[in-house]
Structures are given as structure tokens and as C-alpha cells.
Amino acid sequence: MATFSINLKDGTIVKPSELIVGIDLGTTNSLVAYMKDGAAHCVKSADGKSALVPSVIYFAPDHQVIVGDEAKEKLITDPGNTIFSIKRLMGKSYQDIAGHSAYFGYQIIDEDREALVKIRVKDKFYTPIELSALILQELKKRVEAELKVPVSKAVITVPAYFNDNQRQATRDAGKLAGLEVLRIVNEPTAAALAYDPAESGTIAVYDLGGGTFDVSLLQIEGGIYEVLSTNGDTFLGGDDFDKAIVEHWMTQLGIPVERLRSDKHFSQEIRLAAESAKKHLSTFDSFDAQIDDLPLALTRVEFEQLIQPLVDRTLQCCKNALKDAALGIQDIQKVVMVGGSTRVPLVKKVVSEFFKQPVFDEINPDEVVALGAAIQADILAGNQQDVLLLDVTPLSLGIETVGGLMDTIIPRNSKVPSKAGRQYTTSVDGQKNLKVAVYQGERDLVEHNRKLGEFILSNIPAMPAGMPKIDIQFILNADGILTVRARELRSGLETQVEIKPTYGITEEEMGMMLLDSIQNAQSDIAIRGLLEARNEAQNLLLSGEKFLKQHDAILSAAEISETRQLLQTLKDACAGSDKDLIHRQIEALNEYTTPLAHRAMDSAIGNAMKGKRV
Ligand code: AMP
């Protein structure tokens, strides 16, 4: 029940402002922030030093679950029971992360390559959702301890490229942690909000964190935040810088890569040494250390050579984002740096050179997303009504139509939330069921796109082909989660599903899907033309047969035989792949049968009029 206070001086009713916290659930670190006196604050550790809660979970021998700094220390001493980088596994199947599994110190279950990943700790299996919920619980505990009130509502940020499944998984993790997730917000959008909710212009948000890279181009005008385009890579971040250093050291010292797999203790220790080296080199020119009597050294110049290809990959994403938004570098008024890895001097230098301007880095790049999430939470609580957020969907969404063609309903880069629909019909007389298969991607044939799910609209009342009117609506909510609704308009029959894909998609795949669609555009058009011709011919063949059956009384033997002959020729043409031949046969059949159809119609009208007085 809602409670209100009444201001006895002027009689106004004051609704207590609702506390909604903002959470940055990061790959490496997570943070929670809230609004106080009109400004966003991050909850700091007990010693007041840092707001970062390492996204690391330790399962202690006494069954205690420890999250944060203390758990991070266990990465070395007890790697098998210590979980990190769980965000990389959100909504993923084993197949999706193949090739990266050696990098995780813990055990990933791979019994079914297509199933969602599970992690084994001791004798229990955990989903990434359950593990993320443990991190969220810790954040909830910290903010409650600081504010001394229970917290039950949150806004959680995700990378702009998270798909439906990954967003849904994040939402489920929140629920499991006892938090109602009011909104899933893209990280770059949150960062832009933190910089200046009231500003105007076109800005680029460059977010290089521990595990993911995102670049978003945002247009901000009159308090409206609109994401013009997004691009990124979920397997590119500071962790990869660490990995590059580890590989460099292993080669230099002649240690076989196999040792990373067989010696978990060593693998974690060298990984942490690599991270220390990287951070050290953000300020100093060289690094020296020793583990297990192994000398580890690295200079800033060497480090920069190692990571140059990785940094270059982020620039390719920037180019793609600009292209998608039809913008040039000169259109970008501000470049905002987000994520711990933007502290690397080479990253700042390269990005600044690319955009031909100095970058904005004055807000702590670790906190900026959480601070923005708190501001978004404040907007949702109704405290900042003049700010609106608009995001876009990264890939087109559509359904499969006859012949395996993709019929796009919501095109890529459409604003979310968004709703679009189209009417379809049946292709067979008396058809009772209609399968609605939902796909994501840019190619003309669904087989080249990614299937998100399917459902069946069943018990359609028996009607001739083409009679039912089936309205299919795609409703994409503000979190980017898709609901598909199918309704037969004549009977009111309705079915709907919320699409939760069986497993996730990597940004490499997403990039490949976009690239494919460009490279194969020509052949796709040719295939689409052929399939459409075949579909048209198929419909004509069906109605031609039906016409012969219904009207044989008014047709001569020669007419029946000629029509049959034309139907057969069309059927033969359909078996081949000459689209133009199919079109010619369709025309020939139409030309011959149109007068016959008119005669049939006249005769039907004549019969109906018989015996009736006018
Ligand atoms: P985030 O996901 O935004 O928390 O970013 C974490 C990443 O930033 C990790 O890979 C850290 O190693 C990296 N990082 C943090 N501080 C620094 C620093 N001073 N120099 C370079 N990388 C850093």
C-alpha cells in the first residue's frame, strides 16, 4: 500500500520518493550507486577507498559464499572454487565459449554443447544466473548497510550488444537476488547520463572494460537520449590485454601453454601478475616482478606493441558505428571514456587520434556507468521527468515466411521500445495451424539468420486458403526483450510468447552476420526472387487444380486439356531454378485461364439469379 505525507502548511500531498538503486554488473567489477541530494554516489567499501566490488565469488570449504575482494584473493589459493568473469557466460552455451574455456580457472560443464553453460563447484552445478545473483545480493547488502533501509528495486546496466537472452538472464539474476529490475539500461547510455543529463549534441561513448567493448553514438537533445547506433565485441577487453601479456611471458620464458591448463595455481598467479604489470604501465615505463622464481619483465613499449592489434579492433567497431549512424568523425562533438581499460595511455591516444579531439575522462571510468544507472533509477522514480531514454535494436527481427524467406518486422537500429506488426494468411485450404518462427539477422533467407524461437497458433477455424487474417505483432520492450503475438482476426484466436532464445550470440557472430548480409546481398536477392516466383507459382498451381475441379461442367475437353498442359509446364519450371522461366509460365497460364475464370464467374452469377425476381 502506498503511503503519503500531507504538507500541513499548503495542503500538498508529498509522495515519499522511492529508492531505486543503480547497478553496474560488470565482468571484472560491479558497483551500486544511489541518488542523494540530487547527486549520484557510489557505495564505497568499509575503508572508503573503493566502490569496486570484484565480480568474483568464492565457495569456501565451510559452505560460506564470499563475494568481492576477499574472493579475489582466492583466485590464486583456491582457483577451482573461485568464479570470475561470469558475465561472459551469461546466456551462453558451451559452444559459444569454446576456445576460451582454458582461460577460466573453474570447471565448465560441456556435456551438451548447445545447452546453456553450467559451472561445477564441488558437487553442485550453478548457472551463470545464480552466480550473478550472488554478486547482486552482495551489492544489495552493501547499499542497505550504508542507507540503513531495505532496497528492493534496481536498474541494472548491460553492454549495448547484449541480446534478448542475456538481458533476460540479467533480469532473472536480479529477481533471484530479491531485486525487482525496473529497467535494463545499456552501459554507454548510462555513462552519457552521468556526464550531463541536460546536454545536447552527438557523442561517442567508448567503453573498454575488463571483458567487453562497446561503442555507442548517442544523440542528446532536449533531455532525450537517443542511441543512433551501437557496435562492439563481448570478447574484447582488459582481460585480453592480460592474456596477451601472459602469452608473451610464456613464449619468452619457454613455458608450454599446456601449463596454463594443468597448473591452475600458476595460471591464476601469472594472470594476476600480468594485470599488475598492465596497471603499473599506465603510470610507469617498465615493470619487474617474480613468481615461482620466474623473472617477469615488461616495458610500456613492449606492452603497447602487444595490445596494438586489440586496440585497432576497437577502432573498426567505431568505424562501423559511424557508418550505421551515417555520421562522420566531424559530427561527433564529444568522446566519453568508460571502463577501467581506458586508463591505458595507448587507448586514450589512439581513440583521441581517431576522433580527432581530446577525450573526456574526468569522471572515474570505473564509476561512470553505475552513477548513470543511479540517475536513470531517479528518472524512473519520477524525480527527473524531463529526461527520456531511447535505445536501438542491434539486429533486425522478423519471421520465416513460405520458402524460408525472412520477413523483417522490426528493422535493425529501430528505436526501443517499439511495436510493429503485419498481417499474414494461410497457404492451404482448411489449414488449422500456423507456425511462427522468429529470427534475428540481416540475411534474406532465415537459414542464414539466427533463430530465436518458434510457436504455433493452433485451432484456426477451417477456412479456404487466404481467408484467415493473422495479425503478427512484435513488441520490443525498453529492456530489448521481445514478445511476439499472433492473432487470427476473424475468430479472435490468440497466442503469444516472450522470446527467450536457447543460447546467446557473440559479438563476433553478430559482426559476421552483418558482414555476411553485405557480402551476400547480390546472391540473396537472386535467391529471394526465385523463391518468390516459386511461391507465386505454387499458389497458382493450387488454385488452378481447384478451378478445374469446380468448373469442369462449363469447360470444354480441349480447354481442360490445355489448362492441364499449362499447369504441368509451370510445375516443371518450378523444379528448375530459372526465375524468368517461372514468370513466363505464370503469365502464359494466367493469360489462358483469365477468360475461362470470367466465364465461370458469369455462370455462377447466372445460377444465383435464377428464379429470383428483380
Ligand atoms: P571494468 O570492467 O570497467 O571494471 O574494467 C576493468 C578492467 O580495467 C580490468 O581489465 C582492469 O585490469 C583494467 N584496469 C583497471 N585499472 C587499470 C589501470 N590503471 N590501467 C590499465 N587497466 C586498468
pLDDT in tens, 102-151: 666 677 766 666 667 888 888 888 889 999 999 999 999 999 999 999 99
Which pLDDT score, from 0 to 100, does residue 202 have?
Answer: 94
Which pLDDT score, from 0 to 100, does residue 108 have?
Answer: 74
Which pLDDT score, from 0 to 100, does residue 6 have?
Answer: 43
Q: How far is the CA of 207 from the centre of ligand 1 (A)?
A: 11
User: Residue 3 pLDDT more than 50?
Assistant: no
The question of whether 24 is a catalytic residue gets the answer yes
Q: Looking at 164, 207, 361, 366, which residue is catalytic?
A: 207
Q: Which three cell numbers stand for residue 463?
A: 477456412
CATH number of this structure's domain 393-509: 2.60.34.10
- Mutating to test ligand 1, I would choose from 23, 285, 341, 347 the residue with most ligand atoms within 8 A of its C-beta, which is 341
User: Among the atoms of ligand 1, which is closest to the Cα of residue 52?
Assistant: 4
Q: Check if the beta carbon of residue 118 is closer than 8 Å to that of residue 126.
A: yes
What lies within 8 Å, CB to CB, of 181 at 6+ separation is: 154, 155, 156, 170, 171, 174, 175
Q: Looking at 187, 269, 275, 378, which residue is catalytic?
A: 187
Does residue 400 line the site of ligand 1, with CB under 6 A? no
Going by alpha carbons, the residue nearest to atom 7 of ligand 1 is: 210
Alpha helices in 325-367 (DSSP H): 345-355
Structure confidence by residue, pLDDT tens digits, 515-543: 566 566 666 777 778 888 888 888 888 88
Which pLDDT score, from 0 to 100, does residue 372 have?
Answer: 94
More confident residue, 352 or 526: 352
User: Among the atoms of ligand 1, which is closest to the Cα of residue 27?
Assistant: 2
- Spatial distance between the Cα atoms of 139 and 401, rounded to a whole number of angstroms: 46
More confident residue, 451 or 10: 451
Which pLDDT score, from 0 to 100, does residue 318 have?
Answer: 96
Does residue 480 line the site of ligand 1, with CB under 6 A? no
Does residue 282 line the site of ligand 1, with CB under 6 A? yes
Structure confidence by residue, pLDDT tens digits, 441-479: 888 889 888 888 888 888 888 888 888 889 999 988 777
Which pLDDT score, from 0 to 100, does residue 186 have?
Answer: 85
Strand partners for 389? 225
Does residue 159 line the site of ligand 1, with CB under 6 A? no
Which pLDDT score, from 0 to 100, does residue 390 have?
Answer: 60
Q: How far is the CA of 340 from the centre of ligand 1 (A)?
A: 3
User: Residue 385 pLDDT more than 60?
Assistant: no
Percent of the chain with pLDDT over 90: 42
- Could you tell me the pTM of the whole model? 0.63
User: Residue 211 pLDDT more than 90?
Assistant: no
Q: What is the mean pLDDT of residues 294-315?
A: 97
Going by alpha carbons, the residue nearest to atom 20 of ligand 1 is: 279
Which pLDDT score, from 0 to 100, does residue 161 have?
Answer: 73
Going by alpha carbons, the residue nearest to atom 4 of ligand 1 is: 29
The question of whether 509 is a catalytic residue gets the answer no
User: For all residues of the chain together, what is the average pLDDT?
Assistant: 85
Tell me which of 141-155, 166-180, 231-245, 440-454 is least confident. Answer: 440-454
Which pLDDT score, from 0 to 100, does residue 501 have?
Answer: 39
Tell me which of 200-204, 243-247, 252-256, 401-405 is least confident. Answer: 401-405
User: Residue 215 pLDDT more than 90?
Assistant: yes
More confident residue, 61 or 503: 61
Q: What is the mean pLDDT of residues 421-429?
A: 87
Structure confidence by residue, pLDDT tens digits, 265-278: 898 899 999 999 99
> What superfamily would CATH give domain 21-237+307-391?
ATPase, nucleotide binding domain (3.30.420.40)
- Identical fold for domains 21-237+307-391 and 393-509, yes or no, is no
Q: How far is the CA of 364 from the centre of ligand 1 (A)?
A: 11
User: Residue 18 pLDDT more than 90?
Assistant: no
Does residue 278 line the site of ligand 1, with CB under 6 A? yes
- Report the range out of 212-226, 291-305, 401-415 with the highest average pLDDT: 291-305
The question of whether 507 is a catalytic residue gets the answer no
Q: How far is the CA of 578 from the centre of ligand 1 (A)?
A: 58
The question of whether 87 is a catalytic residue gets the answer yes
- Calculate the alpha carbon distances from 500 to 5, 157, 396, 480 in Å: 42, 19, 16, 11
The letter for the amino acid at 103 is Y
CATH number of this structure's domain 516-609: 1.20.1270.10
Tell me which of 20-34, 373-387, 419-433 is least confident. Answer: 373-387
User: Residue 100 pLDDT more than 60?
Assistant: yes
Which pLDDT score, from 0 to 100, does residue 222 have?
Answer: 64
Q: How far is the CA of 177 from the centre of ligand 1 (A)?
A: 26
Q: What is the mean pLDDT of residues 484-502?
A: 76
Domain coordinates of the chain in residue numbers?
21-237+307-391, 393-509, 516-609
Q: Looking at 24, 366, 479, 559, which residue is catalytic?
A: 24
Q: Is 267 helix (H, G, I), strand (E, B) or coil?
A: helix
- The CA dihedral of 553, 557, 559, 561, to the nearest 10 degrees, is 120
Q: Comparing C-alpha atoms, which of 361, 301, 305, 354 is closest to residue 329?
A: 354
